[in-house]
Amino acid sequence: MHLRQLEAFRLTVEKGSITKAAEAMGLSQPAVTKLVAALEAHLGFALFERCATGVVPTPEGVAYHGELERALLGLARLEEAAREIRGLKRGHVRIGTMPALAAAYTPDVICRIKADHPAMRVSLDVYTAQRVIDLTAAAAFDIGFAHLPERRSDVEVIASFSTDCVVAMPPDHPLAVTEAVSAHDLADVAMVALGQHTTMAPILDGAFAEADVARSIFAECQPSFAACALVARGAGVAIVDPLTPTIFAAESIVTRPFAPAVRFTFRMVRPVGVPHSHAARVAVDAALAAAEDNPLITCAKD
């Protein structure tokens, strides 16, 4: 069975004669007759009966024509689906992020995606950094954003990002008049600390231990926007990434650099061995552009 045979059959049914079908195909009448005869031989039943005005399809021919039309409609749908996928009308990207990036950075990434591809679907899930890495490795996410202290063989690092931690405080806090805040400045100051299970907690513990300063911890919490919410209500000051405080009004929180600098780092990763979809590539480009346009973030594409 060949496509030309099917085309000859379909046009003969629609035109009502082999002569008109031949004209539509740009072939001779005998050529179309041979195509239809070859299809009948392959199928094992007659498709047409001759009549005074030309040919009419047999009951079997009518049934087969109906199936052919459904098949052609399916092919047309496949072509339309391909056009939609090329244009990202059916694109879907799954993004996983750790909490510190859920309120400030990843929303910028998603808005960039939607600005260029409004019909593209984006899913965002927020988990702990370790969980984001594990789920990305399992291909539950197309890309993930998380701390990754040590390289893993089951995820590919697309880019590394870093920024400096800041001290978040109410605008009327005494330390708000300083240009930078050190560990010594925070001695006996009520603080909201990040939970001990977070990646940043041991790093900050080390900074205070090196300065030989004991902290006065009012509360311990996770994630960073919960710490900032407490700061905004006057519970104390918090050392957090510089991105999260930007979602709070300036009347609620101000930030000052923490000195010496403590780096907040994260990586954009993808699962190993899984081909990047067009939608995923769009998301990666949007993430890199969002980082490059953010003055708080330093990006190093791997």
Q: What is the pLDDT of residues 160-209, one digit of tens each?
A: 999 999 999 999 999 999 999 999 999 999 999 988 777 788 888 889 99
Q: Is 193 helix (H, G, I), strand (E, B) or coil?
A: strand
pLDDT over threshold 90, residue 65 = no
- Percent pLDDT > 70 in the chain is 92
The mean per-residue pLDDT over the stretch 111-127 comes to 91
Contact 192, 236 (CB under 8 A): yes
Q: Given this model, what pLDDT does residue 85 score?
A: 60
What confidence category does residue 250 fall into, taking pLDDT thresholds of 50, 70 and 90? confident
pLDDT over threshold 70, residue 77 = no
Task: For the domain covering 3-86, report its CATH number.
Answer: 1.10.10.10
Q: Between 247 and 149, where is the model more confident?
A: 247
- Reading the block at residue 139, the tokens are 């291909």
Q: Given this model, what pLDDT does residue 5 score?
A: 84
Across the beta sheet with 298-301, what order do the strands follow? 121-126, 92-97, 143-146, 263-271, 155-164, 298-301
Q: Between 8 and 179, where is the model more confident?
A: 179
Q: Is 251 helix (H, G, I), strand (E, B) or coil?
A: coil
pLDDT over threshold 70, residue 75 = no
Domain ranges of the chain: 3-86, 92-162+265-301, 166-261
Which of 42-51, 106-115, 118-127, 257-266 shows the lowest per-residue confidence on average (mean pLDDT)?
42-51
The mean per-residue pLDDT over the stretch 208-212 comes to 92
* AA letter at 136: T
Domain at 166-261, CATH class: alpha beta
User: What is the pLDDT of the chain when averaged over all its residues?
Assistant: 88
- Percent pLDDT > 90 in the chain is 50
Query: CA-to-CA distance for 249 and 300, rounded, in angstroms?
Result: 30
pLDDT over threshold 80, residue 89 = no
For the domain made up of 92-162+265-301, give the CATH fold.
D-Maltodextrin-Binding Protein; domain 2 (3.40.190)
Q: Between 174 and 221, where is the model more confident?
A: 174
Alpha helices in 44-118 (DSSP H): 59-86, 99-102, 105-116
Is 92-162+265-301 the same fold as 3-86?
no
- Across-strand partners of 263? 164
Count CB neighbours of 79 within 10 A.
10
Q: Given this model, what pLDDT does residue 81 score?
A: 58
What confidence category does residue 270 fall into, taking pLDDT thresholds of 50, 70 and 90? very high
| Distance, first Cα to last Cα, the chain | 52
Query: CA-to-CA distance for 223 and 233, rounded, in angstroms?
Result: 16
Q: Given this model, what pLDDT does residue 83 score?
A: 65
Query: CA-to-CA distance for 34 and 13, rounded, in angstroms?
Result: 15
Helix axes 18-25, 3-15, angle to 10 degrees: 130
pLDDT over threshold 80, residue 248 = yes
Alpha helices in 92-238 (DSSP H): 99-102, 105-116, 129-137, 200-211, 224-232
